Amino acid sequence: MPLPVLLISILLFFVLFFGIGFLLNMLLRMTWIMAFIYPLVAILIVDKVKVIDYFTSPSASFSSLGTSISHLAAADLIILSSGLAGAIAAGFTMRVLRKKGYRMF
């Protein structure tokens, strides 16, 4: 993956999940909701198995997930990690805003 594409992808995932986390925090008033949801989103991005297959045939689905995660390139792991960092940053931002007295958050 070329370096400019990697840098833009890192920034895009960080901003995207920061924004989604910020909006979910405002709507649901649950500070860390996106940090808990993000691993499920990352699994949906990485794995090609349908969600219902995790319940109907869990052993094959989870072994497929493990294989998919182990075959990720370093650039993909960095991009997915930046999304998690954005979700966590949204939680910290909400905590700071609430401490400073912003009631709408």
CA distance 49 to 70: 15
pLDDT at 34: 87
| 3-class secondary structure, 1 | coil
How far, in Å, are 71, 74, 91 from residue 24 at the CA level?
31, 29, 10
pLDDT at 104: 65
Side-chain half-sphere exposure of 7, counting CA atoms within 13 A: 3
Phi, psi (deg, nearest 5) at residue 31: -60, -45
CA distance 17 to 14: 6
pLDDT at 48: 85
Q: What is the pLDDT along the chain (105 residues), one digit of tens a residue?
A: 899 999 999 999 999 999 999 898 888 888 888 889 999 989 888 988 888 988 999 999 999 988 999 999 999 999 999 999 999 999 999 889 888 888 764
pLDDT at 29: 81
Can you give 22-55 as a three-state secondary structure string? HHHHHHHCCCCHHHHHHHHHHHHHHCCCCCCHHH
pLDDT at 59: 92
> Would you give the DSSP letter of residue 51?
T
For the chain, which residues make up each domain, given as ranges?
A: 3-99
